[in-house]
Amino acid sequence: MVSAGTLIWISLRPLLRLVMCVSCGYAITKADIFPRVAAQGAGQIALNITIPCLMFSKMVPAFTSDNIGALGPLLLICVIYQALGVGIAWLTKQLFWVPHRFRYGILVAGGWANYGDIPTAVIMSITGAAPFNGESDQNLSVAYISVFILYYMITFFPMGGNKVIAWDFKGPDVEPEEVRESVRLRRQFIFRGWPRAVRQKLRKARSKMDAENQVDEKIPNEATLTIDDRNDIHHRPCHGRHVSFCDEASTAVPTDVDFTSAPSTEKLHSPSPSQTATQTIPYDGSCSRPLTPIAEDRLPSPSPMRRRRQKFSITARGVLKSLLTPASITILISFPIALIKPLKALFVEVDGYYMPSAPDGEPPLAFVIDFAEFMGAASVPLGLICLGSALARLNVPRSQWPHLPLGAIFSLAIGRMLLMPVLGVLVCGGLVNAGVISRDDKVLRFVCIFFSCLPTATTQVFVTQVYSGTGSAEHLSAFLIPQYILMFLSMTALSAYTLQMLF
């Protein structure tokens, strides 16, 4: 049994290293020696080179046919956490006023967390030391993290999560006073109006039922109608006209039609035989000629099926283009290599399978794993430096503080960083009791619980700057800063509690 002080130190030490790396990026950005162009270049290196190398070097040795079944629970956790985050953001939007140009961005901020550098840095540090099993558990934890990264990449880019941010900048702007008033009325209805509305609806329903009962009492029974009344109705005449076209004079005579007798044969004739559509023209064979269709200049419009096919083709190309990134391709390739023993034996040693070795005694392609490990080692520090640079560029002028949506800002921060960890522990505990998550796989349980305590991804800052048209993301900045401040407290507490629960 590990003491409480030891657990707290084990949980806190990775965060101290994280803070130091982030502070370096923050400091060089504020000193104006790490400009935006350099930060973007470093981000491209991390995204397209170092992260794919890190994923490949950890996934190939870690995944086996015994633990590949963890993919299902991991994807389920991804979906649950995203739904919970979007739900918290939606409730925040309903109860507190949110700037009009951030009405959809807050949903993205709640649903897509930072699944990259922060969890990788902290989880690798914790699982690489006691009470875990060192390097083997560290590799396995990174392999599990890769599922979260792949899910993030697929849902945010190919499936259109980033497009939701663009909806904020469509249509005319709305003044904050109008948004505040609409939210105030909605909140008033939620807490006060709906009981009154329910009572009014019940009152109207009762009055309507009483009125219907009174009407039913006044309507005579159909059985009281006498046969004479039915005969009078039956013999009651109605006026009608019978129309025909012939050579007689044109007349229009109203007739009394009796339902018990044959109808009248009086007719309505055409005014003139020469004006009727049924006039016959003598056939003259010498004047006859074949009818030829006249070609129209207009091109035929494409069929609905063809339009749908074209639209689907354009959408499919966009999805494939977004999906075929170096990181996602590497993750998808790593799964079959890790599971197929002849392929895996080319890179690492596999128990029970013989593969001719290189002159140094290592597998033939072991140098590929060496290269991936060497490049992947730069992934976490480079990503954290870019994170610090991004945080340094978040600007919330002091003059705007009184006008910020403080209720929504702190509600989302508390929901993501304090409420979500509690829900994550409950969800993972329920899945363990249900047998979905293996009770013996402590690395899997730790990773699943830890991912419930992550702030909003800084990727949203760059996407918002692109869609805003002005290159700014002032609303998002105010929502991110409290989350990253609370992260250190909640992440330390959650890690210590999870380690105490597992060991």
| Position 241 pLDDT exceeds 60 | no
Which pLDDT score, from 0 to 100, does residue 400 have? 74
Q: Once rounded to an integer, what is the mean pLDDT over residues 179-192?
A: 79
Distant-in-sequence, close-in-space partners of 158: CB < 8 Å, separation ≥ 6: 318, 319, 320, 322, 323
pLDDT tier for residue 205 given thresholds of 50, 70 and 90:
confident
Which pLDDT score, from 0 to 100, does residue 456 have? 93
Distant-in-sequence, close-in-space partners of 233: CB < 8 Å, separation ≥ 6: none
| Position 227 pLDDT exceeds 50 | no
Both tokens of residue 242? 């019978």
Which pLDDT score, from 0 to 100, does residue 258 have? 43
| Position 277 pLDDT exceeds 90 | no
Q: What is the DSSP string of 64-116?
A: -TTTGGGHHHHHHHHHHHHHHHHHHHHHHHHHS---GGGTTHHHHHHH-B--S
| Position 283 pLDDT exceeds 50 | no
Which pLDDT score, from 0 to 100, does residue 474 have? 75
Which pLDDT score, from 0 to 100, does residue 393 have? 85
| Position 402 pLDDT exceeds 80 | no
270: helix, strand or coil: coil
| Position 493 pLDDT exceeds 90 | yes
Which pLDDT score, from 0 to 100, does residue 47 have? 83
Distances (CA, A) of 345 to 53, 64, 148, 166, 359: 18, 12, 26, 46, 16
151: helix, strand or coil: helix
Which pLDDT score, from 0 to 100, does residue 395 have? 76
Name the more confident of 499 and 249.
499
| Position 80 pLDDT exceeds 80 | yes
Q: What is the DSSP string of 184-231?
A: HHHHHIIIIIHHHHHHHHHHHHHHHHHHHHHHHHHSPPGGG--HHHHH
pLDDT tier for residue 260 given thresholds of 50, 70 and 90:
very low
Which pLDDT score, from 0 to 100, does residue 194 have? 66
Name the more confident of 140 and 466.
140
Percent of the chain with pLDDT over 90: 39
Which pLDDT score, from 0 to 100, does residue 180 have? 79
| H helix or E strand, kind and range, residue 257 | strand 255-257
Which pLDDT score, from 0 to 100, does residue 257 have? 39
Q: Once rounded to an integer, what is the mean pLDDT over residues 417-442?
A: 95
Percentages (nearest 5) of helix, strand, coil residues in the chain? 70, 0, 30
**φ/ψ of residue 175, rounded to 5:** -65, 145
Q: Once rounded to an integer, what is the mean pLDDT over residues 291-306?
A: 60
How far is 224 from 169, CA to CA, in rounded Å? 70
Specify the fold of 4-188+325-502.
Na+/H+ antiporter like fold (1.20.1530)
| Position 109 pLDDT exceeds 80 | yes
Indicate the pTM of the whole model.
Answer: 0.73
Q: Once rounded to an integer, what is the mean pLDDT over residues 220-241?
A: 47
Percent of the chain with pLDDT over 70: 79
Amino acid present at 389: S
Q: Once rounded to an integer, what is the mean pLDDT over residues 200-224?
A: 64
Which pLDDT score, from 0 to 100, does residue 81 have? 97
Q: Say if residue 479 is exposed, middle or buried (CB neighbours under 10 Å; 0-12, 13-18, 19+).
A: buried
For 375, other C-beta atoms within 10 Å of its C-beta total: 18
| Position 261 pLDDT exceeds 80 | no
| Position 296 pLDDT exceeds 70 | no
| Position 165 pLDDT exceeds 60 | yes
Both tokens of residue 114? 């930072």
Q: Give the range among 141-150, 194-203, 236-245 with minimum mean pLDDT.
A: 236-245
Which pLDDT score, from 0 to 100, does residue 367 have? 94
Q: Once rounded to an integer, what is the mean pLDDT over residues 458-475?
A: 79
Ramachandran region, residue 226 (left: φ > 0; alpha: ψ -120 to 50; beta: rest): beta
What count of Cα atoms within 13 Å lies in the side-chain half-sphere of residue 167?
11
Q: Once rounded to an integer, what is the mean pLDDT over residues 307-318?
A: 76
Question: CATH 1.20.1530.20 in the chain, residues?
Answer: 4-188+325-502
| Position 92 pLDDT exceeds 90 | yes
Which pLDDT score, from 0 to 100, does residue 169 have? 87
pLDDT tier for residue 311 given thresholds of 50, 70 and 90:
confident
| Position 259 pLDDT exceeds 60 | no
